[in-house]
Structure 1
Amino acid sequence: MSIKIIAVDMDGTFLTHDNQYDKERFLNQYAKMKEEGIRFVVASGNQYYQLRSFFPEIQKELTFIAENGAFIVDQDQELFVAKLEDADVQKVIAAINQYPSIKKIVCGKKSAYINESVDEDYFNRLNFYYPKLQRVKNFDHFDDTIFKVFLSCDENNFESILTELKESIGHIMTPVDCGHFGIDLIIPGINKAHGIQFLLDTWNTPEGEVIAFGDSGNDYEMLKMANYSFAMENAKPTIKEVADYTIASNDEGGVLEAIDWYFNKENMFK
Protein backbone atom coordinates (compact mmCIF):
# COMPACT_ATOMS: atom_id res chain seq x y z
CA MET A 1 0.00 0.00 0.00
CA SER A 2 1.69 3.18 -1.25
CA ILE A 3 0.08 6.48 -0.30
CA LYS A 4 1.01 9.94 -1.58
CA ILE A 5 -2.02 11.99 -0.52
CA ILE A 6 -4.00 12.02 2.72
CA ALA A 7 -7.08 14.21 2.22
CA VAL A 8 -9.28 15.20 5.15
CA ASP A 9 -12.54 17.04 5.54
CA MET A 10 -12.52 19.28 8.61
CA ASP A 11 -15.92 19.82 10.29
CA GLY A 12 -17.26 16.55 11.65
CA THR A 13 -14.18 14.67 10.43
CA PHE A 14 -10.75 15.95 11.43
CA LEU A 15 -12.06 18.41 14.02
CA THR A 16 -14.01 17.55 17.16
CA HIS A 17 -17.41 19.13 17.78
CA ASP A 18 -15.67 22.07 19.49
CA ASN A 19 -13.24 22.59 16.58
CA GLN A 20 -10.19 21.00 18.19
CA TYR A 21 -7.73 18.22 17.33
CA ASP A 22 -4.77 16.57 19.04
CA LYS A 23 -2.14 18.93 17.66
CA GLU A 24 0.89 17.17 19.16
CA ARG A 25 -0.19 13.80 17.81
CA PHE A 26 -0.91 15.23 14.38
CA LEU A 27 2.36 17.16 14.10
CA ASN A 28 4.26 13.95 14.88
CA GLN A 29 2.28 12.24 12.13
CA TYR A 30 2.92 15.15 9.78
CA ALA A 31 6.67 14.79 10.31
CA LYS A 32 6.36 11.16 9.21
CA MET A 33 4.32 12.21 6.18
CA LYS A 34 7.11 14.54 5.10
CA GLU A 35 9.69 11.78 5.54
CA GLU A 36 7.67 9.45 3.30
CA GLY A 37 6.75 12.07 0.71
CA ILE A 38 3.05 12.09 1.61
CA ARG A 39 1.12 15.32 1.07
CA PHE A 40 -1.49 16.32 3.65
CA VAL A 41 -4.47 17.94 1.90
CA VAL A 42 -7.20 19.83 3.73
CA ALA A 43 -10.42 19.44 1.71
CA SER A 44 -13.34 21.45 3.08
CA GLY A 45 -16.32 23.56 2.17
CA ASN A 46 -15.02 26.29 4.45
CA GLN A 47 -13.13 29.44 3.55
CA TYR A 48 -9.42 29.15 2.84
CA TYR A 49 -8.54 31.81 5.40
CA GLN A 50 -10.33 29.83 8.11
CA LEU A 51 -8.79 26.48 7.18
CA ARG A 52 -5.20 27.68 7.32
CA SER A 53 -5.78 29.12 10.80
CA PHE A 54 -5.98 25.59 12.23
CA PHE A 55 -2.36 24.89 11.24
CA PRO A 56 -0.36 27.99 12.25
CA GLU A 57 2.98 26.15 12.43
CA ILE A 58 2.75 24.56 8.97
CA GLN A 59 0.08 26.47 7.06
CA LYS A 60 2.54 27.56 4.36
CA GLU A 61 3.54 23.94 3.74
CA LEU A 62 0.06 22.46 3.34
CA THR A 63 -2.35 22.13 0.44
CA PHE A 64 -5.90 23.44 0.81
CA ILE A 65 -8.88 22.47 -1.30
CA ALA A 66 -11.20 25.16 0.04
CA GLU A 67 -14.81 26.07 -0.75
CA ASN A 68 -15.53 22.49 -1.89
CA GLY A 69 -12.84 22.61 -4.56
CA ALA A 70 -13.42 26.11 -5.88
CA PHE A 71 -10.19 27.53 -4.46
CA ILE A 72 -6.99 25.48 -4.31
CA VAL A 73 -3.80 26.73 -2.66
CA ASP A 74 -0.59 24.72 -2.38
CA GLN A 75 2.26 25.89 -0.15
CA ASP A 76 0.91 29.44 -0.13
CA GLN A 77 0.61 29.48 -3.93
CA GLU A 78 -2.74 29.81 -5.67
CA LEU A 79 -3.29 26.94 -8.12
CA PHE A 80 -6.96 27.10 -9.10
CA VAL A 81 -9.93 29.45 -8.79
CA ALA A 82 -13.39 28.61 -10.11
CA LYS A 83 -15.70 31.38 -11.34
CA LEU A 84 -19.47 31.76 -11.63
CA GLU A 85 -20.59 34.27 -14.24
CA ASP A 86 -22.31 37.40 -12.92
CA ALA A 87 -25.58 36.62 -14.70
CA ASP A 88 -25.65 33.16 -13.15
CA VAL A 89 -24.97 34.60 -9.70
CA GLN A 90 -28.09 36.75 -10.04
CA LYS A 91 -30.21 33.81 -11.25
CA VAL A 92 -29.14 31.84 -8.19
CA ILE A 93 -29.84 34.75 -5.83
CA ALA A 94 -33.30 35.15 -7.33
CA ALA A 95 -34.05 31.45 -6.76
CA ILE A 96 -32.85 31.63 -3.15
CA ASN A 97 -34.97 34.72 -2.51
CA GLN A 98 -38.05 32.52 -2.95
CA TYR A 99 -37.26 31.25 0.56
CA PRO A 100 -37.29 34.30 2.89
CA SER A 101 -36.30 32.22 5.93
CA ILE A 102 -32.97 31.18 4.41
CA LYS A 103 -29.84 33.06 5.41
CA LYS A 104 -27.23 33.12 2.65
CA ILE A 105 -23.55 33.83 2.30
CA VAL A 106 -22.09 34.48 -1.15
CA CYS A 107 -18.49 33.26 -1.26
CA GLY A 108 -15.72 34.78 -3.33
CA LYS A 109 -11.97 34.76 -3.56
CA LYS A 110 -11.48 38.08 -1.74
CA SER A 111 -14.20 37.64 0.85
CA ALA A 112 -17.57 36.18 1.72
CA TYR A 113 -20.65 38.43 1.77
CA ILE A 114 -23.68 38.49 4.06
CA ASN A 115 -26.70 40.77 4.26
CA GLU A 116 -26.24 43.67 6.64
CA SER A 117 -29.61 42.94 8.24
CA VAL A 118 -28.47 39.74 10.00
CA ASP A 119 -28.18 39.98 13.77
CA GLU A 120 -24.82 40.28 15.49
CA ASP A 121 -24.91 36.81 17.05
CA TYR A 122 -25.43 35.11 13.69
CA PHE A 123 -22.76 37.25 12.05
CA ASN A 124 -20.23 36.38 14.75
CA ARG A 125 -21.04 32.66 14.53
CA LEU A 126 -20.54 32.61 10.77
CA ASN A 127 -17.49 34.84 11.04
CA PHE A 128 -15.70 31.88 12.61
CA TYR A 129 -16.10 29.89 9.39
CA TYR A 130 -15.58 32.93 7.17
CA PRO A 131 -12.85 35.13 8.74
CA LYS A 132 -13.17 37.41 5.74
CA LEU A 133 -16.87 38.27 5.85
CA GLN A 134 -18.39 41.57 4.71
CA ARG A 135 -21.86 42.95 5.36
CA VAL A 136 -23.57 44.23 2.19
CA LYS A 137 -26.84 46.05 1.52
CA ASN A 138 -27.75 43.73 -1.35
CA PHE A 139 -26.35 41.04 -3.61
CA ASP A 140 -26.72 42.90 -6.89
CA HIS A 141 -23.02 43.17 -7.70
CA PHE A 142 -19.71 41.85 -6.41
CA ASP A 143 -16.25 43.14 -7.20
CA ASP A 144 -14.94 39.64 -6.70
CA THR A 145 -14.70 36.18 -8.24
CA ILE A 146 -17.75 34.32 -6.92
CA PHE A 147 -17.61 30.55 -6.72
CA LYS A 148 -19.96 29.30 -3.98
CA VAL A 149 -23.10 30.16 -2.02
CA PHE A 150 -23.80 28.86 1.49
CA LEU A 151 -27.37 28.53 2.75
CA SER A 152 -28.40 28.12 6.37
CA CYS A 153 -31.65 26.19 6.73
CA ASP A 154 -33.37 24.51 9.65
CA GLU A 155 -34.39 20.93 10.30
CA ASN A 156 -37.96 21.48 9.14
CA ASN A 157 -37.23 22.93 5.69
CA PHE A 158 -33.79 21.52 4.87
CA GLU A 159 -34.78 18.47 2.82
CA SER A 160 -37.51 20.20 0.82
CA ILE A 161 -35.33 23.20 -0.04
CA LEU A 162 -32.42 20.94 -1.04
CA THR A 163 -34.71 18.99 -3.40
CA GLU A 164 -36.37 22.06 -4.86
CA LEU A 165 -33.09 23.88 -5.51
CA LYS A 166 -31.72 20.84 -7.32
CA GLU A 167 -34.65 21.14 -9.69
CA SER A 168 -34.67 24.92 -10.11
CA ILE A 169 -30.97 25.83 -10.32
CA GLY A 170 -29.14 22.49 -10.44
CA HIS A 171 -28.00 23.27 -13.98
CA ILE A 172 -26.24 26.41 -12.70
CA MET A 173 -25.07 25.37 -9.24
CA THR A 174 -25.22 21.98 -7.55
CA PRO A 175 -26.82 21.97 -4.07
CA VAL A 176 -25.04 19.64 -1.63
CA ASP A 177 -25.57 18.83 2.03
CA CYS A 178 -22.62 20.26 3.97
CA GLY A 179 -23.86 19.23 7.43
CA HIS A 180 -25.80 20.91 10.26
CA PHE A 181 -28.71 21.68 7.89
CA GLY A 182 -26.46 23.76 5.67
CA ILE A 183 -26.44 23.67 1.87
CA ASP A 184 -23.48 24.56 -0.30
CA LEU A 185 -24.28 25.64 -3.84
CA ILE A 186 -21.25 24.73 -5.93
CA ILE A 187 -20.39 25.08 -9.61
CA PRO A 188 -21.20 21.79 -11.40
CA GLY A 189 -18.11 19.62 -11.67
CA ILE A 190 -16.27 21.64 -9.03
CA ASN A 191 -16.03 19.52 -5.89
CA LYS A 192 -13.44 17.96 -3.61
CA ALA A 193 -12.85 15.06 -6.00
CA HIS A 194 -12.15 17.51 -8.82
CA GLY A 195 -9.69 19.26 -6.53
CA ILE A 196 -7.85 16.06 -5.74
CA GLN A 197 -7.74 15.07 -9.40
CA PHE A 198 -6.36 18.52 -10.22
CA LEU A 199 -3.58 17.97 -7.68
CA LEU A 200 -2.84 14.47 -8.95
CA ASP A 201 -2.42 15.89 -12.45
CA THR A 202 -0.37 18.86 -11.24
CA TRP A 203 1.95 16.66 -9.19
CA ASN A 204 2.09 13.81 -11.73
CA THR A 205 0.97 11.45 -8.99
CA PRO A 206 -0.58 8.04 -9.83
CA GLU A 207 -4.31 7.94 -9.10
CA GLY A 208 -4.05 4.88 -6.87
CA GLU A 209 -2.36 6.65 -3.99
CA VAL A 210 -5.09 8.60 -2.14
CA ILE A 211 -6.63 8.16 1.32
CA ALA A 212 -9.67 10.33 2.08
CA PHE A 213 -11.82 10.96 5.16
CA GLY A 214 -15.27 12.55 5.36
CA ASP A 215 -18.70 12.69 6.97
CA SER A 216 -21.16 14.76 4.88
CA GLY A 217 -22.69 15.05 1.43
CA ASN A 218 -19.98 17.34 0.11
CA ASP A 219 -17.46 14.52 0.74
CA TYR A 220 -19.29 11.99 -1.43
CA GLU A 221 -17.34 12.42 -4.67
CA MET A 222 -14.00 12.59 -2.85
CA LEU A 223 -14.63 9.35 -0.97
CA LYS A 224 -15.90 7.67 -4.11
CA MET A 225 -12.75 8.48 -6.08
CA ALA A 226 -10.22 7.76 -3.31
CA ASN A 227 -8.49 4.39 -3.27
CA TYR A 228 -8.97 4.05 0.46
CA SER A 229 -11.99 5.97 1.77
CA PHE A 230 -13.07 6.34 5.38
CA ALA A 231 -16.39 7.55 6.77
CA MET A 232 -16.58 8.70 10.35
CA GLU A 233 -18.89 6.90 12.76
CA ASN A 234 -20.88 10.14 12.91
CA ALA A 235 -21.17 10.34 9.10
CA LYS A 236 -24.41 10.45 7.13
CA PRO A 237 -25.68 6.99 6.02
CA THR A 238 -25.04 7.78 2.35
CA ILE A 239 -21.42 8.58 3.16
CA LYS A 240 -20.95 5.33 5.06
CA GLU A 241 -22.38 3.51 2.05
CA VAL A 242 -19.94 5.03 -0.45
CA ALA A 243 -16.86 4.76 1.82
CA ASP A 244 -14.77 1.61 1.99
CA TYR A 245 -14.60 1.66 5.78
CA THR A 246 -16.24 3.29 8.80
CA ILE A 247 -13.96 4.39 11.63
CA ALA A 248 -14.32 6.06 15.03
CA SER A 249 -16.12 9.40 15.22
CA ASN A 250 -14.53 12.83 14.91
CA ASP A 251 -14.77 13.29 18.69
CA GLU A 252 -12.87 10.02 19.19
CA GLY A 253 -10.02 11.05 16.88
CA GLY A 254 -10.86 8.56 14.15
CA VAL A 255 -8.73 10.25 11.48
CA LEU A 256 -5.57 10.35 13.58
CA GLU A 257 -6.14 6.76 14.67
CA ALA A 258 -6.36 5.61 11.04
CA ILE A 259 -3.22 7.55 10.13
CA ASP A 260 -1.42 5.79 12.98
CA TRP A 261 -2.62 2.46 11.61
CA TYR A 262 -1.00 3.31 8.31
CA PHE A 263 2.36 4.34 9.76
CA ASN A 264 2.44 1.44 12.22
CA LYS A 265 1.59 -0.98 9.39
CA GLU A 266 -1.30 -2.35 11.43
CA ASN A 267 -4.29 -4.10 9.93
CA MET A 268 -6.21 -0.91 9.25
CA PHE A 269 -8.82 -2.76 7.23
CA LYS A 270 -9.91 -5.27 9.87
Structure 2
Amino acid sequence: MIKLVLSDMDNTLVPFGARHASPRTMEAIHAVLDAGVRFGPDTGRDYVELMRFFRMDEECFMTGIFSNGKRVRADGDYVQTTLIDHDVLVRLDEVLRPEPGMFLVCYPAETNLFNPAYGVGVSSAELAVFEARTSFVGGTVDEVPDIDFVAATIACPGGPERMERCRAIVAEAVPEVRIVSPIPEWFDVLPAGTSKAAGLEVLLDALGVGLDEVAVFGDAENDLEIMRKVPHSVAVANATPEVSRAARHHVGASADEGVADALFEIARAARAGEMPAFLAD
Protein backbone atom coordinates (compact mmCIF):
# COMPACT_ATOMS: atom_id res chain seq x y z
CA MET A 1 0.00 0.00 0.00
CA ILE A 2 1.12 3.54 -0.73
CA LYS A 3 0.97 5.73 2.38
CA LEU A 4 2.98 8.73 1.19
CA VAL A 5 3.26 10.48 -2.18
CA LEU A 6 6.05 12.96 -2.88
CA SER A 7 6.28 14.99 -6.07
CA ASP A 8 8.80 17.40 -7.48
CA MET A 9 7.19 20.70 -8.45
CA ASP A 10 8.69 22.37 -11.55
CA ASN A 11 8.18 20.38 -14.74
CA THR A 12 6.67 17.49 -12.75
CA LEU A 13 3.57 18.48 -10.79
CA VAL A 14 3.45 21.94 -12.39
CA PRO A 15 4.49 22.63 -16.02
CA PHE A 16 7.62 24.75 -16.34
CA GLY A 17 6.71 28.44 -16.16
CA ALA A 18 3.26 27.95 -14.62
CA ARG A 19 2.68 29.98 -11.46
CA HIS A 20 0.08 27.68 -9.91
CA ALA A 21 -0.95 24.05 -9.79
CA SER A 22 -3.94 23.49 -12.06
CA PRO A 23 -7.43 23.10 -10.56
CA ARG A 24 -7.44 19.45 -11.62
CA THR A 25 -4.07 18.84 -9.95
CA MET A 26 -5.38 20.45 -6.76
CA GLU A 27 -8.44 18.21 -6.95
CA ALA A 28 -6.21 15.14 -7.36
CA ILE A 29 -4.08 16.10 -4.34
CA HIS A 30 -7.18 16.42 -2.19
CA ALA A 31 -8.48 13.09 -3.48
CA VAL A 32 -5.27 11.48 -2.23
CA LEU A 33 -5.49 13.23 1.14
CA ASP A 34 -9.17 12.30 1.51
CA ALA A 35 -8.24 8.66 0.83
CA GLY A 36 -5.92 8.72 3.86
CA VAL A 37 -2.65 9.00 1.94
CA ARG A 38 -0.23 11.77 2.80
CA PHE A 39 0.88 14.03 -0.05
CA GLY A 40 3.69 16.54 -0.20
CA PRO A 41 6.19 18.23 -2.50
CA ASP A 42 9.83 17.17 -2.64
CA THR A 43 11.25 20.27 -4.22
CA GLY A 44 13.84 22.98 -4.31
CA ARG A 45 11.07 25.46 -3.53
CA ASP A 46 10.44 26.72 0.00
CA TYR A 47 7.33 27.64 2.01
CA VAL A 48 6.50 31.02 0.49
CA GLU A 49 6.80 29.78 -3.09
CA LEU A 50 4.73 26.71 -2.22
CA MET A 51 1.96 28.92 -0.83
CA ARG A 52 1.77 30.58 -4.23
CA PHE A 53 1.98 27.34 -6.23
CA PHE A 54 -0.82 25.79 -4.18
CA ARG A 55 -3.01 28.91 -4.20
CA MET A 56 -2.61 29.47 -0.43
CA ASP A 57 -3.92 25.96 0.30
CA GLU A 58 -1.47 24.77 2.95
CA GLU A 59 -3.12 21.37 3.23
CA CYS A 60 -1.23 20.48 0.05
CA PHE A 61 2.15 20.75 1.77
CA MET A 62 1.69 20.00 5.46
CA THR A 63 4.15 17.19 4.75
CA GLY A 64 7.10 17.38 2.38
CA ILE A 65 10.76 17.93 1.59
CA PHE A 66 11.46 21.58 0.84
CA SER A 67 14.54 23.44 -0.39
CA ASN A 68 16.03 20.17 -1.68
CA GLY A 69 16.06 18.63 1.80
CA LYS A 70 17.10 21.66 3.84
CA ARG A 71 13.62 21.77 5.34
CA VAL A 72 11.58 18.68 6.18
CA ARG A 73 7.96 18.97 7.29
CA ALA A 74 5.88 16.16 8.80
CA ASP A 75 2.17 16.73 9.43
CA GLY A 76 2.68 20.46 9.85
CA ASP A 77 5.81 20.31 12.03
CA TYR A 78 9.30 21.15 10.78
CA VAL A 79 11.47 18.22 11.87
CA GLN A 80 14.63 19.50 10.16
CA THR A 81 15.95 22.87 8.99
CA THR A 82 19.45 23.33 7.55
CA LEU A 83 20.73 26.83 6.83
CA ILE A 84 23.49 27.76 4.37
CA ASP A 85 26.54 29.37 5.99
CA HIS A 86 26.85 33.06 5.21
CA ASP A 87 30.57 32.65 4.42
CA VAL A 88 29.74 29.99 1.83
CA LEU A 89 27.31 32.32 0.09
CA VAL A 90 29.83 35.16 0.09
CA ARG A 91 32.47 32.94 -1.51
CA LEU A 92 29.97 31.72 -4.11
CA ASP A 93 29.18 35.32 -5.00
CA GLU A 94 32.90 36.14 -5.27
CA VAL A 95 33.66 33.26 -7.63
CA LEU A 96 30.64 34.01 -9.84
CA ARG A 97 31.26 37.76 -10.23
CA PRO A 98 33.93 37.47 -12.96
CA GLU A 99 31.73 35.10 -15.01
CA PRO A 100 29.51 36.93 -17.54
CA GLY A 101 25.83 36.43 -16.81
CA MET A 102 26.26 34.18 -13.77
CA PHE A 103 24.87 35.36 -10.44
CA LEU A 104 23.71 34.11 -7.06
CA VAL A 105 20.13 34.22 -5.74
CA CYS A 106 19.62 33.79 -1.97
CA TYR A 107 16.37 32.84 -0.23
CA PRO A 108 15.88 34.01 3.39
CA ALA A 109 14.83 31.54 6.06
CA GLU A 110 12.24 34.09 7.20
CA THR A 111 10.42 35.84 4.35
CA ASN A 112 7.02 36.73 2.93
CA LEU A 113 5.06 36.67 -0.30
CA PHE A 114 6.47 39.99 -1.49
CA ASN A 115 10.23 39.37 -1.50
CA PRO A 116 11.35 35.76 -1.07
CA ALA A 117 14.73 36.14 -2.81
CA TYR A 118 17.76 38.40 -3.27
CA GLY A 119 19.70 38.61 -6.54
CA VAL A 120 23.28 39.44 -5.59
CA GLY A 121 25.39 41.82 -7.67
CA VAL A 122 23.00 41.72 -10.60
CA SER A 123 20.85 44.27 -12.41
CA SER A 124 17.08 44.29 -12.11
CA ALA A 125 16.82 43.50 -15.82
CA GLU A 126 19.07 40.43 -15.53
CA LEU A 127 17.19 39.21 -12.47
CA ALA A 128 13.82 39.74 -14.16
CA VAL A 129 14.68 37.20 -16.86
CA PHE A 130 15.00 34.44 -14.29
CA GLU A 131 12.16 35.72 -12.11
CA ALA A 132 9.84 35.20 -15.07
CA ARG A 133 11.40 31.88 -16.06
CA THR A 134 11.46 30.26 -12.61
CA SER A 135 8.47 32.05 -11.04
CA PHE A 136 9.93 33.82 -8.02
CA VAL A 137 9.79 37.38 -6.74
CA GLY A 138 13.14 39.02 -6.07
CA GLY A 139 15.05 42.19 -5.31
CA THR A 140 18.63 43.15 -6.11
CA VAL A 141 21.40 43.71 -3.53
CA ASP A 142 25.08 44.56 -3.91
CA GLU A 143 26.28 41.86 -1.50
CA VAL A 144 24.92 38.88 0.39
CA PRO A 145 22.85 40.24 3.32
CA ASP A 146 23.93 39.13 6.78
CA ILE A 147 20.77 37.17 7.59
CA ASP A 148 19.85 33.47 7.69
CA PHE A 149 19.33 31.81 4.31
CA VAL A 150 17.73 28.42 3.75
CA ALA A 151 18.38 28.19 0.01
CA ALA A 152 20.41 29.56 -2.87
CA THR A 153 20.42 29.18 -6.62
CA ILE A 154 22.77 30.17 -9.42
CA ALA A 155 21.67 31.68 -12.72
CA CYS A 156 23.91 30.48 -15.54
CA PRO A 157 22.80 31.64 -19.00
CA GLY A 158 24.61 30.43 -22.07
CA GLY A 159 24.02 26.72 -22.58
CA PRO A 160 25.71 23.46 -21.57
CA GLU A 161 29.31 24.67 -21.83
CA ARG A 162 28.64 27.55 -19.46
CA MET A 163 26.88 25.21 -17.06
CA GLU A 164 29.89 22.90 -17.01
CA ARG A 165 32.08 25.94 -16.39
CA CYS A 166 29.89 26.87 -13.43
CA ARG A 167 30.08 23.36 -11.99
CA ALA A 168 33.88 23.42 -12.25
CA ILE A 169 34.49 26.80 -10.63
CA VAL A 170 32.08 26.11 -7.77
CA ALA A 171 33.58 22.67 -7.10
CA GLU A 172 37.06 24.16 -6.92
CA ALA A 173 36.33 27.32 -4.94
CA VAL A 174 33.53 26.18 -2.61
CA PRO A 175 33.87 22.43 -2.00
CA GLU A 176 31.45 22.58 0.95
CA VAL A 177 28.56 22.63 -1.51
CA ARG A 178 27.47 20.86 -4.65
CA ILE A 179 25.19 22.24 -7.33
CA VAL A 180 22.47 20.37 -9.21
CA SER A 181 20.41 21.56 -12.16
CA PRO A 182 16.60 21.22 -11.99
CA ILE A 183 16.18 23.13 -15.27
CA PRO A 184 18.55 24.45 -17.96
CA GLU A 185 20.69 27.47 -17.02
CA TRP A 186 19.80 27.20 -13.32
CA PHE A 187 21.44 25.45 -10.37
CA ASP A 188 20.32 24.66 -6.83
CA VAL A 189 23.04 25.02 -4.17
CA LEU A 190 23.20 22.15 -1.66
CA PRO A 191 25.41 22.01 1.42
CA ALA A 192 27.36 18.74 1.63
CA GLY A 193 25.14 15.93 2.89
CA THR A 194 21.91 17.74 1.98
CA SER A 195 19.56 16.33 -0.65
CA LYS A 196 16.01 15.23 -1.22
CA ALA A 197 17.12 11.66 -0.48
CA ALA A 198 18.67 12.64 2.86
CA GLY A 199 15.50 14.55 3.71
CA LEU A 200 13.44 11.48 2.88
CA GLU A 201 15.16 9.49 5.62
CA VAL A 202 14.25 12.16 8.16
CA LEU A 203 10.67 12.35 6.91
CA LEU A 204 10.04 8.61 6.90
CA ASP A 205 11.40 8.32 10.42
CA ALA A 206 9.11 11.11 11.60
CA LEU A 207 6.04 9.56 9.94
CA GLY A 208 6.78 5.89 10.62
CA VAL A 209 6.45 5.07 6.92
CA GLY A 210 8.61 2.52 5.05
CA LEU A 211 10.49 3.01 1.79
CA ASP A 212 8.18 0.57 0.03
CA GLU A 213 5.16 2.66 1.07
CA VAL A 214 6.30 5.81 -0.77
CA ALA A 215 5.79 6.89 -4.38
CA VAL A 216 8.12 9.61 -5.67
CA PHE A 217 7.61 11.60 -8.89
CA GLY A 218 10.37 13.58 -10.60
CA ASP A 219 11.90 14.84 -13.82
CA ALA A 220 15.43 16.27 -13.37
CA GLU A 221 18.92 15.99 -11.92
CA ASN A 222 17.94 17.00 -8.38
CA ASP A 223 15.46 14.08 -8.33
CA LEU A 224 17.94 11.35 -9.24
CA GLU A 225 19.21 10.46 -5.77
CA ILE A 226 15.78 10.16 -4.16
CA MET A 227 14.38 8.21 -7.13
CA ARG A 228 17.21 5.71 -6.91
CA LYS A 229 16.44 5.26 -3.22
CA VAL A 230 12.77 4.23 -3.41
CA PRO A 231 11.20 1.17 -5.05
CA HIS A 232 8.27 3.19 -6.42
CA SER A 233 10.06 5.90 -8.42
CA VAL A 234 8.04 7.55 -11.18
CA ALA A 235 9.26 9.77 -14.03
CA VAL A 236 7.02 12.07 -16.03
CA ALA A 237 7.20 11.74 -19.82
CA ASN A 238 9.17 15.00 -20.13
CA ALA A 239 11.89 13.86 -17.68
CA THR A 240 15.54 13.99 -18.63
CA PRO A 241 16.89 10.77 -20.18
CA GLU A 242 18.88 10.00 -17.02
CA VAL A 243 15.81 10.33 -14.80
CA SER A 244 13.70 8.26 -17.20
CA ARG A 245 16.29 5.48 -17.02
CA ALA A 246 16.51 5.68 -13.23
CA ALA A 247 12.74 5.54 -12.68
CA ARG A 248 10.98 2.21 -12.29
CA HIS A 249 7.64 3.57 -13.49
CA HIS A 250 6.49 6.26 -15.94
CA VAL A 251 3.45 8.50 -16.33
CA GLY A 252 2.32 11.24 -18.71
CA ALA A 253 4.03 14.59 -19.16
CA SER A 254 3.75 17.47 -16.74
CA ALA A 255 1.94 19.56 -19.35
CA ASP A 256 -0.63 16.74 -19.73
CA GLU A 257 -1.19 16.49 -15.95
CA GLY A 258 0.42 13.06 -15.81
CA VAL A 259 0.98 13.30 -12.07
CA ALA A 260 -2.64 14.33 -11.48
CA ASP A 261 -3.78 11.21 -13.37
CA ALA A 262 -1.51 9.11 -11.17
CA LEU A 263 -2.78 10.78 -7.99
CA PHE A 264 -6.39 9.96 -8.85
CA GLU A 265 -5.34 6.33 -9.35
CA ILE A 266 -3.47 6.31 -6.02
CA ALA A 267 -6.61 7.62 -4.29
CA ARG A 268 -8.78 4.96 -5.93
CA ALA A 269 -6.35 2.19 -5.02
CA ALA A 270 -6.06 3.37 -1.41
CA ARG A 271 -9.82 3.21 -0.99
CA ALA A 272 -9.82 -0.28 -2.53
CA GLY A 273 -6.91 -1.46 -0.36
CA GLU A 274 -4.66 -2.27 -3.31
CA MET A 275 -1.61 -1.00 -5.16
CA PRO A 276 -2.16 1.60 -7.92
CA ALA A 277 -2.30 -0.03 -11.33
CA PHE A 278 0.65 1.96 -12.73
CA LEU A 279 2.86 0.68 -9.87
CA ALA A 280 1.79 -2.93 -10.16
CA ASP A 281 4.31 -4.06 -12.80
TM-score range normalised by the length of the shorter chain = 0.7 to 0.9
Q: Using the TM superposition, give the Cα deviation of residue 49 of structure 1 relative to its aligned residue in structure 2, in angstroms.
A: 0.5
Alignment match, 1:215: 219
SS at match of 2:155: strand
Alignment match, 2:128: 123
- The correspondence of residues 110-259 of structure 1 with structure 2, limited to 5 A, is 110=110, 111-115=116-120, 117-120=122-125, 122-123=127-128, 125-126=130-131, 129-131=135-137, 133-139=138-144, 141-165=145-169, 167-169=171-173, 171-259=175-263
| Structure 1: stretches of 5+ with no match in the other structure | none
| Structure 2: stretches of 5+ with no match in the other structure | 111-115, 270-275
Alignment match, 2:272: none
Amino acid at match of 1:138: E
Alignment match, 2:66: 66
Change (3 A) 1:11 1:170: same
Q: Using the TM superposition, give the Cα deviation of residue 50 of structure 1 relative to its aligned residue in structure 2, in angstroms.
A: 1.0
Q: Using the TM superposition, give the Cα deviation of residue 156 of structure 1 relative to its aligned residue in structure 2, in angstroms.
A: 5.0
Alignment match, 1:42: 41
Change (3 A) 1:52 1:195: farther
Alignment match, 2:106: 106
SS at match of 1:157: helix
Distance 2:166 2:238 in 1: 21
With the length of structure 2 as denominator, give the TM-score of the two structures. Answer: 0.82
Distance 1:92 1:3 in 2: 40
- State the superposition RMSD in angstroms: 2.6
- The correspondence of residues 82-97 of structure 1 with structure 2, limited to 5 A, is 82-97=82-97
Equivalent residues of 2:218, 2:239 under 8 A apart: yes
Distance 2:88 2:29 in 1: 41
Equivalent residues of 1:45, 1:67 under 8 A apart: yes
Q: Runs ≥4 in structure 1, deviation > 6 angstroms?
A: none
SS at match of 1:56: coil
Equivalent residues of 1:13, 1:213 under 8 A apart: yes
Amino acid at match of 1:108: P
Change (3 A) 1:188 1:224: same
Distance 1:169 1:74 in 2: 35
Amino acid at match of 2:79: L
SS at match of 1:44: coil
Which whole-Å deviations, capped at 9, do the CAs of 1:196-220 have from their partners, x for residues lacking one? Answer: 2211111122222110111110111
SS at match of 1:13: coil
Q: Using the TM superposition, give the Cα deviation of residue 52 of structure 1 relative to its aligned residue in structure 2, in angstroms.
A: 1.9
Alignment match, 1:14: 13
Equivalent residues of 2:3, 2:214 under 8 A apart: yes
Equivalent residues of 1:71, 1:109 under 8 A apart: no
SS at match of 2:158: coil
Amino acid at match of 1:15: V
Equivalent residues of 1:240, 1:246 under 8 A apart: yes
Distance 2:92 2:122 in 1: 20
Identity of aligned residues (%): 18
Change (3 A) 1:106 1:25: closer
Change (3 A) 1:260 1:224: same
Distance 1:220 1:260 in 2: 24
Stretch moving more, 158-167 or 37-46: 158-167
Change (3 A) 1:44 1:116: same
Equivalent residues of 2:92, 2:174 under 8 A apart: no
Q: Using the TM superposition, give the Cα deviation of residue 60 of structure 1 relative to its aligned residue in structure 2, in angstroms.
A: 4.5
Distance 2:167 2:128 in 1: 27
Alignment length, in residue pairs?
Answer: 266
Alignment match, 2:278: 268
